Amino acid sequence: MPNKNIELLAAYWTLAGDTYPGAPSEISPFSLQARAEAASKAGWRGMGLVHADILHNVEKLGISTVRNIFQDNGIKHLEVEFLTDWHLEGERRAASDKVRDELLEVAGELDARSLKVAAGLFEDGPPDIARMRDTFALLCDRAQPFGTNVVIEFLPFSSVNTIDLAIAVAEGVRPNGGLLVDTWHVARGGMSFDEIAKIPLELIKSIELDDANHAIVETLFNDSTHYRKCCGEGQLDVPEFIQQVVNVGYDGPWGVELISAELRKLPLDVVAKKTFETTIAQFEGIKFPN
């Protein structure tokens, strides 16, 4: 174990069980109570909440019970996801705004640290940076009263798919607006981990760790959804990614997003323990500032 107090956050899909992004139902087959207990026992101090699942649990249990489940299990870092189409107009924007308001209401009630968003998901062509900056400012303003950061994931299957484009959209827009930097996204986007050094510290609001083999299985989205690896079990240099993030000055919780057809079939307690232990092992040898 590293001598620094590292706090890990299990992104939603890591402990969701037999479901995945775009599945017929994104609601976890495991109860929220069971997930929080398994996470706590394994050492996790944070959890991610996806739209369909958290609304299901709030309706079923009530927001106060949901809050107590996290508090009773020492889960202090929460994030909500996933918002798309926030930069568009018309019906898709109206649907996005509804999801936005539902996620922010939950985020405010649970004191969640971040709302995860994608910019230009599955859109062809270069993004309209000026328009995205304007709409990102509006989104951040909407989130600000809830005490929530808005973090852009620069995905290889979105129009904002590089560190440079993500900085262009987010830099200088709002104090609560920034980026989520994910090992898989950086590697699959064709970037080297040393490019993380160009990101201003104030923009790094969230981090996600994961691993992968060098070979992509079919499409990027398919590879992302079913073939991610536990940290240290793939071919990416996860410790190097961590070191680059530490060098910039990031000092928050470390998210772990493992979306894996293999993992999601395993018992919950097994997944919680395996994903935690393989991730925390990556911090051995990391040089932290004094």
Summarised one tens digit per residue, pLDDT across range 98-147 is 999 999 999 999 999 999 999 888 888 899 999 999 999 999 999 999 99
- Is the bond preceding 82 in cis, omega lying within 30 degrees of 0? yes
Per-residue pLDDT reduced to its tens digit, 202-261: 999 999 999 999 999 999 999 999 999 999 999 999 999 999 999 999 999 999 999 999
Alpha helices in the chain (DSSP H): 32-42, 51-61, 63-72, 90-110, 129-143, 163-170, 183-188, 220-226, 238-248, 268-280
Per-residue pLDDT reduced to its tens digit, 136-154: 999 999 999 999 999 999 9
Distances (CA, A) of 31 to 122, 221, 284: 31, 27, 33
**Does the global pTM surpass 0.75?**
yes
* pLDDT at res. 1: 40
The mean pLDDT of the chain is: 96
Domains of the chain: 8-283 (3.20.20.150)
CA angle 119, 125, 131 (to 5 degrees): 50
Q: Residue 172 in contact with residue 204, Cβ under 8 Å? A: no
* pLDDT at res. 3: 45
Per-residue pLDDT reduced to its tens digit, 31-63: 999 999 999 999 999 999 999 999 999 999 999
